Structure 1
Amino acid sequence: MNYYEPLAYVVPQEEEGFVLRTILQKRLHVSRKLLSRIKLTEQGITVNGVRKYIDVKVMAGDLVEIRMEQEQSDDIMPQDLPLDIIFEDDHLLIVNKPAGMIVHPTHGHYVGTIANAVVFHWQRMEGRFRFRPIHRLDQETSGVLAIAKNPYVHQQVSEQMQAGAVDKEYAALVYGVIEQDAGTVNEPIDRDPLQPHIRIVTPDGYPSVTHYRVLRRFPGATLAGLRLETGRTHQIRVHMQHLGHPLVGDKMYKGEAAEAGELAGLTMERQALHAARLAFTHPGLNRAVEFTAGLPEDMQQCLNLLEQKERIYNDGQGV
């Protein structure tokens, strides 16, 4: 049986006499579900190299190690597809997802996904990992995507997300000029009862909070930075539409501002939304890490067009 590199912890003097279960759950932060899995594997939990039951007491200086069996995604077909890798180590793979690409195979989309490309990449590198995206991005949203290489890392970063300890920032180009330099949209979101695939702001919805700040204003449009406190489906798109500033190119969540912008020639083939930055505590390194991805070509081209229009506008005003 093959294992990933073990996670290790040396018991300090002040923790002598602690029960091994406490060390695993309180110091290594192993969830009960994952602990149950590890206990079933040979050499899954050891103290000084010897397999132990989790109800034994440990001594100062003991080396506690947990080992997880190597896995791979046998149900995902590997495909040699372009993969923009931002960062990779033994614990994590961070990629810059292009717009138009689905993260995980679904019914009717078994190939051409990020998962297919990642599995091929790992096989070529002779690595045995199961595809575990820590979060998802909509098909038409580009940017930073984090993928865990083992269940422990997936659990750790997922819990950081649930606790609001992961800093995610998006860049969005929206119709209309946002007057406030920064603000917060705190409006509940739920499915539209008449169109279940669409989300709407409704008093009976789930709590949803989006923070925004203006990065740059143009005549008729704004480049905004957005941070999420919650992770509802289509949250940014729904909240910006509610604010009166729908995303450029968003065909599902539109409004009068979008129609006016399209008539003026401001449009894209997809919603102008990009996951620009992701920051969290790396479970394997136990330190803060940050990953960024620059604006994709289609959004940059749109900004270039707006800059040209801005110069023409300013010239016409005699600026």
Structure 2
Amino acid sequence: MWERILNYTITEQKTSNIHEFLKAHGYSSSLIRAIKEDPEGIRLNGEPVLARTLLTPGDQLAIRITETKFSENIVPSDLPLSIVYEDPDLLVINKPAGMPIHPSQGNYDNTLANACAWYFKEKGEPFVYRCINRLDRDTTGLLIIARHLYSASLLSAMMARREIHREYLALATGIVPEDGIITAPIARKEGSTIERMVDFKHGEYACTHYRRLSITTTDPVYSLVALKLDTGRTHQIRVHMNYIGHPLPGDFLYNPDYSHISRQALHSHHLRFRHPITGEEMHFTAPVPEDMLL
């Protein structure tokens, strides 16, 4: 069993019970139920208590979150795993190219989930795979793994509120304008399960901000571009850059030109967010991969 103890000093003047306190702090109903079923799940001033116990200012509340299981159907595999940051609540991973993040048909034991399962198996710790922000198989860079159900719930809510700020770097074909905003709705391409397209009639709103950083001095010409997303549509950067006439090289769906790079030239470069438990401001940067260097 693995456990995480979260301690609170009660300062609220308004009387509430522990159940109400936990709900107000983002604990899900299922997690509260699991905590209540644990004889050591709730301690108030050092003593085990029930969730209906009233709180008063100055009380010391300790909540125990446990992990006892491994993710089902995820086979531990000894794969490269670049951990940029780890604490009891989350991990930040720098994902390599060619690695899917979830097992699927044809990708049973070669994914980031398999690598994480191996890592925690070697540590002798139970682990359930909870990936917060997703990257395509061939996109490199930073993503967040939640260590337990509470941090997963908080981080997922932060993603929905756009409180996890991500910056991408991409190589784009040609000379991209110095900066700009692309607001073009994106929809699934008819007849395809994975391909997307700009569709002003049926598409969902999508907004991408871009800024050119540099240009190659050789032929063919590529631009290194920094991008931030206001929305998170599938393949958004790849579709939007293709739409403005500057597709990413190596993109098998939208620009299968492999003369410079063998995969889509897209990298999750920077993450910024507040730690879901401590509130600390977190910043992480992953260097540009060698195959994207101009």
Q: TM-score, normalised by structure 2?
A: 0.91
Paired residues of 1:157 and 1:281 also in contact (CA < 8 A): no
What is the CA–CA distance in structure 2 between the aligned matches of 1:155 and 1:183, rounded to whole Å?
34
- Greater CA deviation, 46-55 or 112-121? 46-55
Q: 1:172: how far off?
A: 0.2
Is 1:207 aligned with 2:199? Answer: no
Mapped partners of 2:41, 2:184: distance in 1: 45
Name the counterpart of 2:98. Answer: 100
Give the corresponding residue for 2:179. Answer: 182
Q: Going by fraction, where is helix more abundant, 1 or 2?
A: 1
Structure 2 residue 157 is matched with structure 1 residue 164:
no
Report what 1:285 is aligned to: 278
Q: 1:88 aligns with which of 83, 86, 89?
A: 86
Q: Which has the larger displacement, 265-274 or 85-94? A: 265-274
1:137-186 deviation per Cα after TM superposition (whole angstroms, max 9, x unaligned): 1001011121111011111111111101111011000001112x222111
Structure 1 partner of 2:118: 120
1:9 corresponding residue in structure 2 = 8
Is 169-178 or 219-228 further displaced after alignment? 219-228
Residues 175-199 of structure 1: CA deviation (Å, up to 9, x unaligned): 01112x2221112111112323211
Query: d(CA) in 2 for partners of 1:279 and 1:210?
Result: 17
Q: Which residue of 2 aligns with 1:226?
A: 227
Distance 1:5 1:146 in 2: 18
Distance in 2 between residues matched to 1:22 and 1:230, nearest whole Å: 33
Secondary structure of the corresponding residue to residue 6 of structure 1: strand
Counterpart residue identity of residue 209, structure 1: C
> Aligned to 2:227, what secondary structure does the other structure show?
strand
Quick check: 2:99–2:138 contact (8 Å CA) kept in 1?
yes
Name the counterpart of 1:132.
130
SS for the counterpart of 2:31 is helix
Q: CA RMSD in A?
A: 2.0
The answer to whether the Cα contact below 8 Å between 1:119 and 1:131 also exists between their aligned partners in 2 is yes
- Quote the sequence identity (%): 38
Distance 2:94 2:116 in 1: 12
For residues 69-120 of structure 1, the C-alpha deviation after alignment (integer angstroms, 9 at most, x for no partner) is: 2132243211222211211121112221110011121122111211111111
SS of the residue aligned with 1:154?
helix
Q: Which residue of 2 aligns with 1:217?
A: 215
Partner in structure 1 of residue 59 of structure 2 = 62
Q: For structure 1, which runs of at least 5 residues remain unmatched after alignment?
A: 304-319
CA displacement, residues 205-249 of structure 1 (integer Å, 9 cap, x when unaligned):
222111111111235221101111211111110111111111111
Question: Contact conserved, 1:3 with 1:67, CA < 8 A, in 2?
Answer: no
Q: Which amino acid aligns with 1:10?
A: T
C-alpha contact 2:85 2:91 (8 A) present in aligned 1? yes
Residue type of the partner of 1:7? L
- Cα displacement (A) at 1:37: 3.7
**AA in 2 matched with 1:293:** A
- CA apart distance, 1:42: 3.2
CA contact (8 A) 2:2 2:126 kept: no
Kept in 1: contact 2:2–2:125 (CA 8 A): no
Match of residue 151 from structure 1: 149
- CA distance in 2 between counterparts of 1:195 and 1:107 reads 17
- Tell me which protein shows more strand as a share of its residues: 2
Pick aligned residue for 2:188 from 191, 203, 206: 191
Mapped to 2, the partners of 1:74 and 1:104 lie a distance apart of 12
Amino acid at match of 1:17: T
Provide the aligned length of Structure 1 versus Structure 2: 289
SS at match of 2:138: coil
User: How far apart are residue 125 of structure 1 and its match?
Assistant: 1.9
Q: How far did 1:126 drift?
A: 2.2
Q: CA deviation at 1:53?
A: 4.0
Counterparts of 2:247 and 2:27, CA distance in 1: 41
| Over 6 Å off, 4+ runs | none
Whether 1:274 and 2:272 are equivalent positions in the alignment is no
Offset at residue 35 of structure 1 (A) = 2.7
